[in-house]
Structure 1
Amino acid sequence: MTTASRCLLLLTLPLLLLAPPSNAQSDADTSESDAWTDAMPVSEMTTAFDTAADEEKFVFIYVYAPWCPYCQRIEQEVYTDGDVQALMNEHFVMVRVNADDPEETHQFEGKEVAAPDLANRLGARGFPSLIFMDETGEHIGTLPGAVERDDFMLLMRYVGTGAFRDQSLEAFTDE
């Protein structure tokens, strides 16, 4: 991916941000919203890049905080969608990082890293942060904030098909 394409992707992605989120949920509601992980499995960071290489997929890292209403919204309205789940499973290996939990650790670049530090190293600057990487760990793009289903599907097709390598998001959208 060229530097110009990467810059375009990073400049274009924020345009897809949502309006303000719905009201915060109780802890009971939050646990129900985790049911999407059955249909869209979450991998450990230690195996995600090897799995992505073996299966010719990309790595999608979802950086969240349990209290975040934007995160709750994307989990309820986007990740529960069957078409999103199918596209995610076809093109991506998903990793979930609770950046609000210093006790959660991940293996990254040969070191054990606390989730908040990992989120910082990955460039997450808010919740949620949706990070696309290739199987070698090269950063493709980051979308800060929640995104609506149709926009998320577009981004997953754009990255998942590898179109980001040789065309702009705008050109891809015009097809």
Structure 2
Amino acid sequence: MKISVPKSLHFILFLFVALMVNTICAQEVKWLSWSEAAELATTEKNPKKIFVDVYTDWCGWCKKMDKDTFQNAEVAAYMESNFYMVKLDGEGKEPIEFKGKTFNFVPSGRKGYHEFAAALMGGKLSYPTTVFLDEEMNMLSPVPGYQKPGPFLNIAKYFGDDIYKEKDWKTYSGKGK
């Protein structure tokens, strides 16, 4: 006796398997607040560098980067082992202390911006922007715009593996002459 399985059941089974593979391959990132990362950076014997993801709730590219890049298993594992990872809402309302200064939310138009986010981005409010700081919380570089997992990992390793101390970005990335 031959049993006929409807094509719709095949499609549902395919979707289920695809969803399970995506769930297994995605890795949850442990995000910290700025104050948590700053405390770890100042109290740990071997502190890590700090990575800040500056985002807004309304930014579609920010959400895409969360899903595609930060949940990529290879990216998440590298970042977790080399950086304290901070999520910073560019329009957040809570004051932030940094190097003896208090940064606040500044109302502007219908929304506003956070002074700390603006400072990290060099006054250029662009979302998403990822920011790399060294172990002493000194600016290494802001990187504006959406980054796919491969290119992002290349940038992260440039800072995370201290390559920036020996090579400029153009030489490292192969974009120099």
**Does structure 1 retain, via aligned residues, the 8 Å contact 2:49–2:137?**
no
**1:50 to partner: Cα distance:** 4.2
Cα RMSD of the aligned pairs, angstroms, is 2.1
Q: TM-score, normalised by structure 2?
A: 0.69
Structure ID, larger Rg: 2
Partner of 1:33: none
Structure 1 residue 46 corresponds to structure 2 residue 35: yes
What fraction of aligned residue pairs are identical, expressed as a percent? 23
- The residue identity in structure 2 corresponding to 1:141 is S
Deviations 1:30-74 (A, max 9, x none): xxxxxx8x8321222223234236233211111100110110110
How do 1:1-175 residues align onto structure 2 when only pairs under 5 Å count?
39-52=28-41, 54=44, 55-101=46-92, 103-114=93-104, 116-122=114-120, 123=122, 124-173=124-173
**Does structure 2 retain, via aligned residues, the 8 Å contact 1:107–1:113?**
yes
Partner of 1:23: none
**Does structure 2 retain, via aligned residues, the 8 Å contact 1:74–1:146?**
yes
Could you tell me how far apart the structure 1 residues matched to 2:39 and 2:63 are?
Answer: 29
Deviations 1:7-32 (A, max 9, x none): xxxxxxxxxxxxxxxxxxxxxxxxxx
**1:154 to partner: Cα distance:** 0.2
**Does structure 2 retain, via aligned residues, the 8 Å contact 1:44–1:106?**
no
Aligned residues: 137
**Does structure 2 retain, via aligned residues, the 8 Å contact 1:79–1:85?**
yes
Q: TM-score, normalised by structure 1?
A: 0.70
- The residue identity in structure 1 corresponding to 2:91 is D
Higher relative CO (Cα under 8 Å, sequence separation at least 6) belongs to 1
Q: Which residues of structure 2 form unaligned runs of 5+?
A: 1-25, 106-113
Deviation beyond 3 Å, 4+ runs, structure 1: none
Could you tell me how far apart the structure 2 residues matched to 1:52 and 1:84 are?
Answer: 21
Could you tell me how far apart the structure 1 residues matched to 2:63 and 2:90 are?
Answer: 14
